[in-house]
Structure 1
Amino acid sequence: MAAAAPTVVPSSSTSSSTIQWDVFLSFRGEDTRDNFTSHLYGALVSKGIKTFKDDEGLKKGELISEALEKTIKKSRISIIIFSRNYANSRWCLEELALIMERWKKNGQKVIPIFLKGIDQLDVKHQKESFGEPFGEHEKNFDRKMVERWRSALRAAAQLPGWSFIDFR
């Protein structure tokens, strides 16, 4: 699936005092930190787009969940990078749920990216690598929390985004 390239305004043009970041990147570090995400981050930053990547923007000692929630709320756009192990991570799913709540309540722009081997329908219907982890999640976490994650996956997978077959 393809969508027109989003218009991202560099933060120097941002008029709202509540917006601190132009883009928030949600990704599974072990899958994409040193390849796709680092390249995307570098490209955005080189264009003057103030971009939050967890290893760049968190201050030592901050509680991760609180810091990420504040950062998501202060971001104009969230880009969700769906990779093979994204749904294995409780943190990724919690970020996703916060992003989708912000999208629903405040109209924050959300752009999903489906990397090689990730089918948008697998994300939507939680199949393959997006379904397998939920057996463990259902054992380890509250039922309401798991349903919140499932709902966020369904909603995000229905948004216009990009599929990348190959990246280096």
Structure 2
Amino acid sequence: MPFPGSHSQVFYRGANGVAYLLRSRFILKHLHFPKFQANTPASALFHQILMAAAAASSSKPKRNYDVFLSFRGTDVRNNFVSHLYTALDQHGLFTYIDNEELKKGQKISPALMKAIEESHVAIIVFSKNYASSPWCLEEMAKIMECKAHNDLIVLPVFYKVEPREVRGGRESYGRAMAKHESNFGKDSEKVKRWKEALFDAGSLFGWGLNDG
């Protein structure tokens, strides 16, 4: 179903469960996306995410955050995610974004985990190096736990990766999980939990973006 103001269907759901961008003729005069011009795949994707996040957060009892963003900073912090955050903020969606890159040996703060619990929507931006970070995987596992128990809405974005890579442990995700098994042990409960969460998250309906 096209969005209001559009002249054509922009997304289709492929056999792999991801919504791919076809072409956009949206009238985006009320939306502003820094550095992304209207009628591009990125701006159309932002529009879809904004609508989904706004609908989900408005229909729930009040929580501290409308949206929690989970992403690998070295991949997308200074491009896709910074523009997405700005778009969310401009449209009144109070969004939690972690501006600190954890260093080796550091642990995820309880405040960050609490922020996930206190959000209506979590947007997971799966990128090439997402699974190489134990902290990203811990965030993602917590998000999927809150989806099951706290009614958290999860919106995955597959940024230059395929959903099958995420849920099936292929390509960079397969290499990353093999390294984690080497570090934590092949029978590690932590790694098993990460794999299960990746499978579940990668099986959700989401959006694919290969540009931006």
TM-score (normalised: structure 2): 0.69
Q: Is the 8 A contact 1:97 1:149 kept in 2?
A: yes
Closer/same/farther in 2, CA of residues 86 and 15 from structure 1, 3 Å limit? closer
Cα distance in 1, alignment partners of residues 192 and 53 from structure 2: 32
**Deviations for 1:72-128, whole angstroms, at most 9, x for unmatched residues?**
000000000000000000000000000000001122100000012x01011110100
Name the residue aligned to 1:137: 180
Unaligned 5+ residue runs, structure 1? 57-62
Q: Is the 8 A contact 2:70 2:139 kept in 1?
A: yes
Letter in structure 2 aligned against 1:137? H
Q: Which has the higher contact order (CA 8 A, sep 6+)?
A: 1
SS in 1 for 2:52: coil
* RMSD across aligned positions (CA): 2.1
Residue 166 in structure 1 maps to residue 211 in structure 2: yes
SS in 2 for 1:139: helix
Cα distance in 2, alignment partners of residues 131 and 10 from structure 1: 32
| Aligned partner of 1:8 among 45, 54, 60 | 54
Residue 122 in structure 1 maps to residue 165 in structure 2: yes
Q: Is the 8 A contact 2:65 2:95 kept in 1?
A: yes
- 1:51-130 pair list within 5 angstroms: 51-55=95-99, 64-116=108-160, 118-130=161-173
Closer/same/farther in 2, CA of residues 15 and 104 from structure 1, 3 Å limit? closer
SS in 1 for 2:92: coil
Q: Is the 8 A contact 2:53 2:66 kept in 1?
A: no
Deviation at 1:42, TM superposition (A): 0.4
Unaligned 5+ residue runs, structure 2? 1-17, 21-47, 101-106
**Paired positions, count:** 158
Deviation at 1:67, TM superposition (A): 1.4
Letter in structure 2 aligned against 1:161? G
- Identical amino acids, percent of aligned pairs: 46
Q: Is the 8 A contact 1:10 1:48 kept in 2?
A: no
Deviation at 1:9, TM superposition (A): 5.5
TM-score (normalised: structure 1): 0.86
Deviation at 1:46, TM superposition (A): 0.4
Name the residue aligned to 1:146: 191
Whose radius of gyration is greater, 1 or 2? 2
Letter in structure 2 aligned against 1:125? G
